[in-house]
Amino acid sequence: MIEHALAPIGLAALQAAAMLALAPLLRGLIKKMKAALQMRQGPPLLQVYYDLAKLLRKEAVRSATSSWLYIAGPRMYFATAVVATTLVPVWIAAAPLEAAGGVLAFVGILALGRFFLATAALDTGSPFGGMGASREMTIAALAEPALMLGLFTAALSAGSLNLGALVRGLLDRGVAFHPSDVLALAGLFIVVIAETGRVPVDNPATHLELTMIHEAMVLEYAGADLALVEWASALKELLYLTLLADLFAPIGIATSASPVLLLQSALIWAAKMFVLALAVTLVESTNAKLRLFRVPDLMAVSLGLGFLALAIRFL
Amino acid sequence: MDAFPPLQEWFPAAVAAYLTSAAAAVVLARWPRLCRVTAFGGSMLGSALVVALALSVLAGEPVSGRLGVHAASGIAFGYAVTPLAAWFLLVLGLVSAPVALYSIGYLPHAVPDGRTALLGASFNVLVAAVAVVFAAADVITFLLAWEVMTLATAALVASEHEIPATRRAAYVYLVMSHVGTGALLAGFLMLASMAGSVSFEFVLAGDVAAGRWRDVLFVLFFFGFGVKAGVIPLHIWLPEAHPAAPSNISALMSAVLIKAGIYGLFRVCAFGLGVPAVNWGLGVMALGALSAILGVLYALAQSDLKRLLAYSTIENAGIILLGLGAGMTAAALGRADLAAAGIAASLFHVLNHALFKGLLFLSAGSVVMASGSRRLEELGGLIRRMPWTAAFFLVGALAVSGLPPLNGFASEWLTFQALLLGFASLSGVTRMNFPLAGALLALTSALAAACFVKAFGTVFLALPRSRAAIDAGESPAIMLVPQGWLAVLCVGVGLFPGAVLGAIAGVLTSLPGLRLAHAPAGALTMAVGPASFDHVAPAALGLTLAAAVLGAAIVAMAPRLRSGQARLARRVPTWGCGGELGPANQYTGAAFSKPLMMIFRTVLRPTREVEALADVSPYYPREVRYRTAIEPVFERYLYHPLTTAVLGAAGRLKVLQAGSLHAYLAYVLVLGVVLLIWLGGMR
């Protein structure tokens, strides 16, 4: 009985730790590729790690007007990203904590983190925090239905809303390509861009008050608090890309826990991440950031694509 | 066990407890303190009885009996606590008991002592009436209790009647309710005359009406009950009446009173008129989605805390209707298992909404009591002055936003299941409505999260925006304990949804046309379809989350501990862009929701007026006044033409009622002659 409970917990801890360890690399990789496209040398691949290490050692500085929620915000944001990691199959066709919930739990738990971070942003009394929180919640609200529709399409064609069972269902179905996949992938890719705060929705590199969204929300944070937020954002990005790979190209994921399969699966996963990171980089390098009030149009396109995909798939 | 009275006597005993407390409140009117303790203490006793009865019915057999017999006419007032009624009675008891306890501490600050008796008595009469509505076994008992419920609510809404807006709110409520009651009366008269009985056993057997008549009856009943449930477009009384009433009454209205309308929709529209038609189910779903989306958008636009909560009530009524509509559609298509999923989601949300909205209104009441203001833009920084109230409001805000592991997530999860299972198992174009409704539900809950980040952040965080907010202090324990109790229930139901679903399963088996395909697996896990489709164990999510938060805290602390730095953070003033940061620099609630207002401007039609008062140059204004409002679309384009038409018709008919006795005598004579001729002809 106890072994039954311990095995998933151990797997969950392992997967979360490995994903946490790899997440900053993805950020660094995107930065490096972006710099290469702009004919710059760019920061070292491991710069994000150095930044995190430095921030974690820094003294904590907090606003005098803030309350306990300001401290809880980054911790909850980080923790929800970690919990979400345990619900997604990464290298093996089963999520460690499959028993805890599926797609809806995944979306819900990430929304919980966002709620806390946005609330905490209002705690300092700085207008930037409010501005960022307002915009973040606005875009999240618009992205949510599109995200759900995209996930529903994949889930319904696999016959399960549980991510582990979903991936196994897709693998059982075989390599059968369906035209609706293109639409669903396009729709979900837009959502992922929005949720991870990338151009054209948000610009992770800007600190200009008129344009920043996520950065404005966390502008007051410093030291370890900021490190948690940055790390969790990187983890979320890796997680969303893994989710896309799971939903649209599950091929190659290990179906049993044999070491050879696992190694092979990890390599294939890394290749998929590289391709997706390249796609994110290309989109970010070839597009200008949209005006805030044009973002709803983009989200509407995503929602429309999701609905079309569903209609084509099932009608 | 012989010491316990038989179950048959519990319901009359609970009603008697409420009515005795009401009478005691009137008798003790001269001693406000004693009056409060007696009235609300008695009410809690009645609610405890109701909860005990509901639990034993849910665990065992239905109970029925008589409340009394009218000797002269021989009309018996029967009651029957069916499992469905028991579920709603459970909700009533679980929320009205803490609200009553809260009222003991709240009333002396909210109303003058002279009105304590009126409020105490009306409160008890209202709770008793709603209990009888839930348990009524015949048309007459039901309609009597329904009317008493309406009148008691109107008295409570009007308790601060020296304010014109309050009088208007009570008036609008009365008019809307009575139009609704008129529809119910017509519906029940038709049903009763078709069935030849007034007992619900025959009237709502499902085989009474057929064909077109069924559709007519459905529309009548949906209209009548929809007014009470706050379904858009029948909602206009709700955002007026909820804020106008004292906060404890708002909590009771939102948590319990609107559930009377929902109960009616279940009892009559879904299960009383036979197997529902597909169009009924789709119609209910459509209106549910409309209420959910518009409710939350209007809530976002509010700057009055209690109006915001009132609109959120409309949103949640919409979510309840989404589940019900999905269930009805599936039942119409002959899918008993899918129908069970939708109905279960709907019933679960009835409980959850009562718990978290009761909690939110009570916390809002504490805020209003402490600061004297309901306006978001005058509040702020209350988390340091009212830490407990802030924590409880936060729990309610998380629950209403449908976030795990709280109870709102559990029922929204079930609603998603009902919609997706429906899509997966049905065929044809009809099923495309299900994922569309799912996307709208996702939008609704994300907008609700934005709305409650705004509400919580503006009221409780950062710097206080007014003198009143600076001087605010924490509520007494007697007001905090009920909030704590509801918060614990929100968390508990969220962590153990399987146990609640088990109780709902008992309700489902008692209803016609439903079959739960998969028995609940346990207290922790929840699943309505096959386990491979989806399941959720919020307690596991909660535990993992707790472990992860602990891990985050360690990650944040460990590097500095080793380097020997001070663990306490340095506190500095927030950067004010070069100036000194004051309350005026903060983001306001209106600013927070502005982007969403702009994005949904075609629906909300916001208006704004900006006025700059300058002394020297227009570039250096001394004062800027900003006013924004959203267009009351339904009032302006639906109700205004309607009332104008009614008043116009009444004006024209006034000619008949000229005040001349001779004319009236002539009418009687003409009518008499016509009747004689007509009746003579019939013979």
Chain A residues touching residue B549 (CB < 8 angstroms): 75-76, 79
Chain B residues touching residue A124 (CB < 8 angstroms): 462, 574
Higher pLDDT, B532 or B96: B96
Strands (E), B540-605: 570-572
pLDDT in tens, B559-595: 877 666 656 788 888 888 788 888 888 899 999 999 9
pLDDT of residue B520: 67
Tell me if chain B has a CB within 8 Å of the CB of A29.
Answer: no
Place of tokens 């636009």: B301
Cβ–Cβ gap A159/B457 under 8 Å: no
- Chosen for mutation from A51, A122, A221, A229 (greatest number of chain B CBs closer than 10 Å) is A122
Distance CA B405, CA B423 (A): 26
pLDDT in tens, B227-271: 999 999 999 999 999 999 999 999 999 999 999 999 999 999 999
pLDDT of residue A3: 62
Q: Euclidean distance between the first and final Cα of chain A, in Å?
A: 45
Neighbour tally for B533: CB within 10 Å: 20
pLDDT of residue A1: 45
Is there a contact between B254 and B309 (Cβ–Cβ < 8 Å)? Answer: yes
pLDDT in tens, B597-627: 999 998 888 888 888 888 888 788 888 888 8
The dihedral sign for the CA sequence A235, A241, A246, A250:
negative
Name which of A245-249, B140-144, B564-568, B652-656 the model is least confident about. Answer: B564-568
Distance CA A235, CA A98 (A): 19
State ipTM: 0.96
pLDDT of residue B2: 47
Portion 261-300 of A in contact with B at CB < 8 A: 292-293, 296
A266 pLDDT higher than 60: yes
pTM of the complete model beyond 0.80: yes
Min distance B218 CA to chain A CA atoms (Å): 31
Cβ–Cβ gap A134/B592 under 8 Å: yes
User: What ranges in B401-537 are assigned the alpha helix state H?
Assistant: 407-425, 433-460, 467-471, 477-495, 497-510
Looking at chain A, which residue has its C-alpha nearest residue B594?
A134
pLDDT of residue B366: 96
Portion 137-166 of A in contact with B at CB < 8 A: 137-138, 140-149, 152, 155-156, 159-162, 165
Cβ–Cβ gap A59/B598 under 8 Å: no
Chain A residues touching residue B586 (CB < 8 angstroms): 125-127, 130
Cβ–Cβ gap B532/A160 under 8 Å: yes
Chain B residues touching residue A80 (CB < 8 angstroms): 545, 548
A293 pLDDT higher than 60: yes
Distance CA B677, CA A41 (A): 105
Confidence of residue B519 (pLDDT cuts 50, 70, 90): low
Report angle CA B233, B236, B242 to the nearest 5 degrees.
135
Distance CA B449, CA B433 (A): 24
Tokens linked to A177:
């390509």
pLDDT of residue B1: 42
pLDDT of residue A230: 95
Distance CA A268, CA A265 (A): 5
Tell me if chain B has a CB within 8 Å of the CB of A51.
Answer: no
**DSSP string covering B203-228:** HTSS-S--THHHHHHHHHHHHHHHHH
Looking at chain B, which residue has its C-alpha nearest residue A300?
B599
Chain A residues touching residue B566 (CB < 8 angstroms): 59
Q: Which of A67, A114, A307 sits opposite B461 (nearest CB)?
A: A67
Portion 67-86 of A in contact with B at CB < 8 A: 67-69, 74-76, 78-80, 82-83, 86
Distance CA A225, CA A212 (A): 19
Is there a contact between B459 and B393 (Cβ–Cβ < 8 Å)? Answer: yes
Chain A residues touching residue B383 (CB < 8 angstroms): 67-69
pLDDT in tens, B57-75: 999 889 988 888 888 887 8
B627 backbone dihedrals φ, ψ, rounded to 5°: -130, 130
Distance CA B273, CA B204 (A): 6
Q: Which of A69, A104, A159 sits opposite B461 (nearest CB)?
A: A69
- Spatial neighbors of A13 by CB under 8 A, at least 6 apart, are none
Burial of B55 (0-12, 13-18, 19+ CB in 10 A): middle
Cβ–Cβ gap A62/B571 under 8 Å: yes
Tell me if chain B has a CB within 8 Å of the CB of A10.
Answer: no
Tokens linked to B61:
């057999």
Portion 204-233 of A in contact with B at CB < 8 A: 220, 223-225, 227-228
B438 pLDDT higher than 60: yes
Min distance B450 CA to chain A CA atoms (Å): 5
pLDDT in tens, A145-190: 999 999 988 888 888 899 999 999 888 877 667 888 899 999 999 9
The mean predicted confidence, pLDDT, of chain A is 91
The SS3 of residue B622 is: strand
Going by the DSSP 8-state scheme, the letter that residue B638 receives in this structure is I
Min distance B556 CA to chain A CA atoms (Å): 5
Cβ–Cβ gap B446/A129 under 8 Å: no
B137 pLDDT higher than 60: yes
Cβ–Cβ gap A97/B540 under 8 Å: yes
Q: Which of B409, B417, B572 sits opposite A64 (nearest CB)?
A: B572
Tell me if chain B has a CB within 8 Å of the CB of A200.
Answer: no
Cβ–Cβ gap A145/B566 under 8 Å: no
Distance CA B311, CA B296 (A): 6
Chain A residues touching residue B553 (CB < 8 angstroms): 75
Looking at chain B, which residue has its C-alpha nearest residue A100?
B537
Average pLDDT of the segment spanning B111-139: 94
Looking at chain A, which residue has its C-alpha nearest residue B562?
A57
B552 pLDDT higher than 90: yes
Q: Which of B544, B557, B575 sits opposite A126 (nearest CB)?
A: B575
Q: Which helix (H) or strand (E) segment is B611 a member of?
A: strand B606-614
A99 backbone dihedrals φ, ψ, rounded to 5°: -65, -20
Cβ–Cβ gap B595/A135 under 8 Å: yes
Cβ–Cβ gap B534/A74 under 8 Å: no
Cα-based distances in Å from B552 to A12, A22, A27, A82, B558 = 16, 17, 20, 9, 10
* Cross-strand pairs, A35: none
- Chosen for mutation from B574, B586, B604 (greatest number of chain A CBs closer than 10 Å) is B574
Burial letters for A108-127: b for 16+ Cβ neighbours within 10 Å, e otherwise? bbbbbbbbbbbbbbbbbbbb
Is there a contact between B301 and B219 (Cβ–Cβ < 8 Å)? Answer: no
Cβ–Cβ gap B586/A56 under 8 Å: no
Average pLDDT of the segment spanning B537-554: 94
Closest C-alpha to B179, from B575, B639, B621, B666: B639
pLDDT of residue B54: 95
Burial of B606 (0-12, 13-18, 19+ CB in 10 A): middle
